[in-house]
Amino acid sequence: MDVQQIKQRFGIIGASPALDRAIEVAAQVALTDLSVLISGESGVGKEVMPQIIHQLSARKHNKYIAVNCGAIPEGTIDSELFGHEKGAFTGAHDSRKGYFEVADGGTIFLDEVAELPITTQVRLLRVLETGEFIKVGSSKVLKTNVRIVAATNVNIPDAIRKGKFREDLFYRLNTVPIHLPALRERKADIHLLFRKFASDFATKYRMPPVKLTPAAVDLLENYRWVGNIRQLKNVAEQVSVIESSREITPEILTTYLPQDTTSTLPAVVKGNDTSDMSERDILYKVLFDMKGDVTELKNLVFSLMQNAGSGSMDVEGNPTLVRSLKRLYDKTEVPHEHHDDQVYKPQILPKQEEPITEHEEVVEESLSLADKEKEMIVKALAKYNGKRKSAAEELGISERTLYRKIKEYNIDN
């Protein structure tokens, strides 16, 4: 069966070379039992590919089960896929067969496979490698002969780097990769799809089909379509039902297209990127960012104490203190006890009975978070004789973060 026949059989519209290539690969791999991973943005029609693979394979007379992994709660996903025994958990009043047991000899389509929990990924890897699985609450090993086709709109290599997806499972699923292009990469197909949807909705709602003016077609083909075919179908349905005029101009069409705020320009990053930082590292970053405020508050309090000691408490006459107080209180959310319009006024320290004289030396303990952190790092390194790995574990931070801090504080290791 050639590509054109497959399109007609499964209702696929489009003449994009990338789409034709994806269909061609699906038809070729259908004759084997290899695992397939379908990638592409949400709404591009990934669910059609596993149906092509199943219907063109020797398994077409057996079960085909489509599972949306993102729609099943984490606590029940293992039971859904592999089944469970009676009493395996609260509410398990009877034993139950899972999808892998029901679809024995057939095909299972795992949509949004990147949403699977790590523990379930381990079980799935065993099925792919040996065809074996164990029901929840059982110790008996069962066998299954299932063809697995998976799909995702997630960047799997990026998920692997973040520890959210197993690398070995990715390579087992990705035996044959199939990528479906986004709708904006198939500009010549956009108007064809719109006309098909408009015709279908005209039949469904018993009304004449809408038609686009040449300018509206140009607008349609140059829109970004973040939601891809699914979004285009929704727009076609809305226009068909709501508009009384059957000729759609760009002005009419624009009202149904959300403003495209997506930019293709590189993102401007302010500050340090925290995407790859652990929770502990982020907490350290927040504490270090507070360091400046703590130092400023310390100097302000010390200045107030000096004014109190000298008998001069004219805060309004000291513009530096006024600016510092205003800046600090603007950055701090002050709770109101009774009324929303109640204004919070800072309390001024009363005059000290025993003022600090110039002969008395004030020994002030450092409030700098950086000094404290440096001191802890030095102590940890000394405790483990300079072994950074052990010191990092003692401090509860990564070895990479420790190395960066050693360079930052110029600590002699």
Which of 183-192, 196-205, 334-343 shows the lowest mean pLDDT across its residues?
334-343
Which of 59-68, 196-205, 247-256, 286-295 shows the lowest mean pLDDT across its residues?
286-295
Q: What pLDDT, on the 0 to 100 scale, is given for residue 267?
A: 42
Which of 15-19, 47-51, 258-262 shows the lowest mean pLDDT across its residues?
258-262
Mean pLDDT of 366-384: 79
Q: What pLDDT, on the 0 to 100 scale, is given for residue 398?
A: 85
Q: What pLDDT, on the 0 to 100 scale, is given for residue 389?
A: 86
Strand order in the sheet with 64-68: 64-68, 107-111, 147-152, 36-39, 176-179
Residue 151 binned pLDDT confidence (cut-offs 50, 70, 90): very high
The DSSP secondary-structure symbol of 248 reads: E
Q: What pLDDT, on the 0 to 100 scale, is given for residue 302?
A: 66
Q: What pLDDT, on the 0 to 100 scale, is given for residue 386?
A: 84
Q: What pLDDT, on the 0 to 100 scale, is given for residue 148?
A: 96
184, HSE (Cβ side, Cα atoms, 13 Å): 11
How distant, in Å, are the alpha carbons of 35, 195, 211, 213 from that of 256? 40, 16, 15, 15
> Is residue 293 over pLDDT 80?
no
Q: Are the C-beta atoms of residues 181 and 68 closer than 8 Å to each other?
A: no
> Is residue 46 over pLDDT 90?
yes
Q: What pLDDT, on the 0 to 100 scale, is given for residue 142?
A: 95
Helices marked H in 274-368 = 279-289, 291-310, 319-330
> Is residue 338 over pLDDT 50?
no
Q: What pLDDT, on the 0 to 100 scale, is given for residue 392?
A: 84
Q: What is the dihedral of CA 164, 165, 167, 172, to 10 degrees?
A: 180
Please identify which residue in the block is written with the tokens 């000691």: 309
Q: What pLDDT, on the 0 to 100 scale, is given for residue 203?
A: 95
> Is residue 298 over pLDDT 80?
no
pLDDT tens digit string along 158-169?
Answer: 999 999 999 999
Residue 404 binned pLDDT confidence (cut-offs 50, 70, 90): confident
> Is residue 146 over pLDDT 60?
yes
Which carries the bigger pLDDT value, residue 309 or residue 394?
394
The most confident of the ranges 128-137, 303-312, 360-369 is 128-137
Which carries the bigger pLDDT value, residue 339 or residue 32?
32
> Is residue 266 over pLDDT 70?
no
Q: Are the C-beta atoms of residues 296 and 341 closer than 8 Å to each other?
A: no
Mean pLDDT of 164-191: 95
Q: Average model confidence (pLDDT) for the chain?
A: 82
> Is residue 222 over pLDDT 60?
yes
Which carries the bigger pLDDT value, residue 307 or residue 399?
399
Residue 177 binned pLDDT confidence (cut-offs 50, 70, 90): very high
Task: Give the amino acid at 347.
Answer: Q
Which carries the bigger pLDDT value, residue 396 or residue 108?
108
Which of 58-72, 80-94, 181-195, 331-345 shows the lowest mean pLDDT across its residues?
331-345
Residue 52 binned pLDDT confidence (cut-offs 50, 70, 90): very high
User: Rounded CA gap, 71 and 58, in Å?
Assistant: 29
- Residues 6 or more apart whose CB falls under 8 angstroms from that of 15 comprise 188, 189, 192
Terminus-to-terminus CA distance in the chain, angstroms? 70
User: Rounded CA gap, 165 and 335, in Å?
Assistant: 44
Q: What angle do CA 127, 131, 132 make, to 5 degrees?
A: 75
